[in-house]
A and B are shown apart, each in its own frame.
Chain A
Amino acid sequence: MQTTLAAVAVLTVGYILAYLLFDRLRDRFGYVGGAEYVVIGFLLGPRVTGLLGAGQVQDLTPIVSLVLGWLGMLLGTYFRLPTMALIEGDHLRIAFGEAVVTFAAAGGALFGMLHYVAGFSGRDAAVMAVTLAAVATLSSPRAVDAVVDRARTGARILPILQLTARIDALVGVVAFGLVLAVFHQGDVSPGVRPPTATEWAVINVAVGVASGVLFHLFLGPRGHLDEGRLFVALAGAIVVASGASYYLNLSPIFTNLVLGFILANSGSAHRDVTRLLLLTERPVYLALLIFAGAAWSPVSADLLFIAPVFVIIRLAARFLGGRAAGLYVAPPQLRTPDLARGLLAQGGIGVAIALNYTQVHPGVQSRLILTATLLSVLLFEIVASREATLFIASLKERPSPPEGVNVDTALPAR
């Protein structure tokens, strides 16, 4: 009894201290990250109080999968084709340019560090590098939207910033989904020929497409469900799609991204679906942080250097990507060399990717990935909001371009 009471006391005091600390950061930097929830998860988990033992953390898999899939699906709903068709080609080129350069730079640097410095095998280093590069490439669409909404300015770069955040997330999730498929982990049933890397990649996409089509049919053409019932239907769809992905050791985030994309582009329920997903994004994100905290365990001391180096690599890759896209890909009227300053926030998908990785590849590497991701997400979220606000404020001082752009129509659907 004393142990349990002590655990409850540690949890309560730990949470309140963490809350007070991060509340200061909220006041000072406009921090919105919710790192206290990582702390609460860590305190709840097997490493500290053990209120959530390893077995119970495992029992929570349905909720974790729901959370991972939820974020994937939300990302998918951002890409509504009728609205995307209105986006200017230049904007898409900048967004993809930034995402691809950031991903390639981060991936290259991480592979070098993991293979040549940390001594991982080529295959392990490649999988880890792609995973961490995917995390590094991510920017949080929600955080960027929040800053842009607050800015209330019509600068032409703002819709590009919002689009880039979405494309960054897309590139990150797709890269991670593909790496789990191409470097597939686990065996198939005896007597069945193991699919090739390409076949796994196709299966990965096919599971998402099949789920999307089936749930489009399930929700029906009208889709006038009340919020509670829509939540149940979506939760069921996400858990089923995630279950299918886990069955095959693939990424539920990727599967649900495809599912969300199909739901957003078919039927008339897409508005309700997107609204509900956006409404629940914050609690889902915080729940994810709690799970990540509970699942986190320390990495061996000799590998601990990777986490801070990852933060530096992300920062460098982000600025390199921003500079390449903002300076060389962008047409003269849209040149913004410091584009990366508006894209520092990482958001929940990064944590989701790391958590997904720990499920598919349990072991030392997964602890490393989770440690690096959590450190990066928490640090960048302290500075991201302030930096993005300053960046946007600096844009106001520049002369406006001659032709205006309608911010709303230049954005993928919300």
Chain B
Amino acid sequence: MIRRLVVLALLVGGALLLEPLRAPTAGVIAPRSLFLFGMLLLTADTFGAVAHEFRVPRLVGYLVAGLALGPSATGIVPAGVLEDLGMMKRLAVGLIGLLAGAELRVSDLRQRHRSILFILALQTLAVMSALTALGLLGRGWVPFLTGLEAAPLVFVVLLFAATLTVNSPMVTLALLTETKASGPLAKTTLGVVLVADVVVILIFTATFSLAEASLGGETASAPEILRHLLSGVLGSILAGAVVGGVLTLYLRFVKRELVVFAIVLVFATAAAAQALGFELLLSLLVAGFLVENVAPVRAEPLVSTLHQMAVPVFVIFFAIAGAELHVREFRALWPLVLAVALVRIGAIFLSTRAGGRLAGAEPVVTRFAWTGLVPQAGVALGLATVVADRLPRLGLAMQTLIVGVIAFNESVGPLLFRRGLERAGEIATR
């Protein structure tokens, strides 16, 4: 560990020595971004190994590495470089989506549909209700709620609650891949998290349109809200079906060079998502699901290829996510952040226990499913960005609080889930 840190320090020193010889060229390449991206990978790998030694999930190490190098801490990786690495992050999100979809099997869903549905419904309802109540009761302390009239207040609080209802398919999948966990808890959590991704995006879109309309934004009528829903979610599902179709054809007729094909497919889908406005993660999740469960081909080669790519993809995603964490916001708002995060965890805890009992789930699911629903990461951050971009008057303030809560959940959530899997006895012994 010390040896590795010395090497990393020497690399940074070496880069500083080379600085005067730097040749500013026509802007085809961003050597600094490149160098720092490499540094981020190496530091993440080192911190991941340290985390593993302390029986902490590696992804927490990746996050800490990103945080340590990112603008919030040392600033070695500045915000501009993170923007340059946006494409890398999209690639990671897309591959994780594809893998997550392919991991979701109809047979598992059918077997555990009661548990998944009960836990999902109660969790969504409980988190929405608890956070709405908290927002309404504590509106005097929440910066973006002060001064709002009754209708906008309700819709903005609902939007806030909807954004924080999101779970993290990335964290769930990363932990399940890392620990090779398998069992009722792992399967149920994955099912809930993936289905919740679709449900919560629907709720988010609806509440967003209502909040935007109530604040005097452009979206006002019910048909327009419906159009948002259709373009946002149904568009993603449709796009996922198209991508799934292309994947099926490829697996049927070509079946070669799956690594390259998966990467190209994700890039093409990301470009199409940007142009057509659908959601990358959701569409690839649907594509993976369809190929695994509906398409008349064996998806096993694709799934095993995606598994081979999983470790580097998770390192890239979580290291960049860590660098994007906003610690300053957390520092400024920590009492509020902590209150929101604890209320959310409490709501998840109670609702999943109730959901598990009502569905007659296995005891380990009833007791520990809540641990897998605490983490939040990329999807929630994406929604927070939408809020900041599209609600200029209060969006930024809301994003600050939401990002603070996500930072907390992103750091604590994986620890909780790993502990839950451990106590459920589902982590593979090596």
Interface residues of A (CB under 8 A from B): 1, 3-4, 7-8, 11-12, 16, 19, 34, 37, 40, 44, 51-53, 56, 58-63, 65, 184-189, 192, 195, 203, 207, 210, 214-215, 217-218, 220, 226-229, 231-233, 235-244, 246-249, 280, 282-283, 286-287, 290, 359-360, 362
Residue B147 lies at the interface, judged by CB distance under 8 Å to chain A: no
Contact between chains at B21 and A188 (CB < 8 Å): yes
* Interface-centre pick from B6, B7, B23, B33 (highest chain A CB count, 10 A): B23
> CA A282 – CA B259 in complex, angstroms?
10
**Which residues of chain B from 1 to 55 have a CB within 8 Å of any chain A CB?**
3-4, 6-8, 10-11, 14-15, 18-26, 28-42, 44-45, 48-49
Contact between chains at A214 and B10 (CB < 8 Å): yes
Contact between chains at A283 and B259 (CB < 8 Å): yes
- Between-chain CB contacts (< 8 Å), 27 pairs: A4-B272, A44-B267, A52-B271, A53-B271, A61-B28, A62-B37, A65-B29, A186-B25, A187-B24, A188-B21, A188-B22, A188-B23, A189-B22, A192-B21, A215-B7, A217-B6, A226-B311, A232-B311, A233-B41, A233-B45, A235-B41, A237-B42, A242-B34, A243-B33, A243-B37, A247-B31, A359-B29
CB-CB under 8 A for A248 and B22, given A51-B271, A237-B42, A240-B42: yes
Q: Nearest 7 A-B pairs (CB), nearest first?
A: A228-B311, A243-B35, A186-B23, A239-B38, A240-B38, A236-B41, A236-B42
Contact between chains at B18 and A4 (CB < 8 Å): no
B3 and chain A: residue at smallest CB distance: A217
Contact between chains at A236 and B28 (CB < 8 Å): no
> CA A34 – CA B260 in complex, angstroms?
11
Contact between chains at B272 and A238 (CB < 8 Å): no
**Which residues of chain B from 176 to 215 have a CB within 8 Å of any chain A CB?**
none
> CA A215 – CA B15 in complex, angstroms?
15
A69 and chain B: residue at smallest CB distance: B38
CB-CB under 8 A for A52 and B45, given A186-B23, A220-B3, A244-B14: no
Contact between chains at B39 and A240 (CB < 8 Å): yes
Contact between chains at A286 and B35 (CB < 8 Å): no
B-chain residues with CB within 8 Å of residue A282 when the two chains form the complex: 257
A-chain residues with CB within 8 Å of residue B11 when the two chains form the complex: 214, 240
Contact between chains at B311 and A286 (CB < 8 Å): no
Stretch at the interface among B70-78, B85-93, B101-109, B321-329: B85-93
CB-CB under 8 A for A248 and B44, given A214-B7, A217-B7, A218-B7: no
Partner of A283 from B14, B19, B33, B260 at Cβ < 8 Å: B260
Contact between chains at B21 and A62 (CB < 8 Å): no
Contact between chains at B276 and A4 (CB < 8 Å): yes
> CA A90 – CA B423 in complex, angstroms?
66
CB-CB under 8 A for A247 and B35, given A40-B264, A186-B23, A237-B42: yes
A-chain residues with CB within 8 Å of residue B41 when the two chains form the complex: 232-233, 235-236, 239
Residue B130 lies at the interface, judged by CB distance under 8 Å to chain A: no
Contact between chains at A287 and B21 (CB < 8 Å): no
Partner of B34 from A7, A243, A286 at Cβ < 8 Å: A243
Contact between chains at B271 and A218 (CB < 8 Å): no
User: Interface residues of B toward A: which range?
Assistant: 35 or more
B254 and chain A: residue at smallest CB distance: A19
B22 and chain A: residue at smallest CB distance: A247
CB-CB under 8 A for A248 and B35, given A56-B271, A236-B42: no
Contact between chains at A56 and B87 (CB < 8 Å): yes
CB-CB under 8 A for A218 and B22, given A236-B45, A243-B35: no
A-chain residues with CB within 8 Å of residue B253 when the two chains form the complex: 16
Q: Report the minimal beta-carbon distance from B129 to chain A, rounded to whole angstroms.
A: 38
Contact between chains at A240 and B312 (CB < 8 Å): no
> CA A244 – CA B304 in complex, angstroms?
34
A-chain residues with CB within 8 Å of residue B28 when the two chains form the complex: 58, 61, 359, 362
CB-CB under 8 A for A236 and B38, given A12-B246, A59-B86: yes
- For the A-B complex with A12-B246, A44-B268 known, give 15 more contacts whose Cβ atoms are closer than 8 Å: A4-B271, A4-B272, A44-B264, A61-B28, A186-B24, A220-B3, A220-B4, A229-B311, A236-B39, A238-B38, A239-B35, A243-B36, A247-B31, A286-B257, A287-B260
A-chain residues with CB within 8 Å of residue B6 when the two chains form the complex: 217
A-chain residues with CB within 8 Å of residue B362 when the two chains form the complex: none
> CA A201 – CA B72 in complex, angstroms?
39
> CA A186 – CA B27 in complex, angstroms?
12
Contact between chains at A248 and B264 (CB < 8 Å): no
> CA A376 – CA B312 in complex, angstroms?
34
Residue B422 lies at the interface, judged by CB distance under 8 Å to chain A: no
Contact between chains at A189 and B84 (CB < 8 Å): no
Q: Report the minimal beta-carbon distance from A288 to chain B, rounded to whole angstroms.
A: 10
Q: Report the minimal beta-carbon distance from A368 to chain B, rounded to whole angstroms.
A: 17
A-chain residues with CB within 8 Å of residue B259 when the two chains form the complex: 280, 283
* Interface-centre pick from A4, A236, A246 (highest chain B CB count, 10 A): A236
Contact between chains at B87 and A59 (CB < 8 Å): yes
CB-CB under 8 A for A189 and B276, given A214-B11, A236-B41, A246-B34: no
> CA A217 – CA B7 in complex, angstroms?
7
Residue B173 lies at the interface, judged by CB distance under 8 Å to chain A: no
> CA A240 – CA B24 in complex, angstroms?
18
CB-CB under 8 A for A244 and B35, given A44-B264, A56-B87, A287-B263: yes
> CA A286 – CA B23 in complex, angstroms?
30
> CA A17 – CA B268 in complex, angstroms?
18
CB-CB under 8 A for A51 and B312, given A40-B264, A188-B22, A359-B28: no
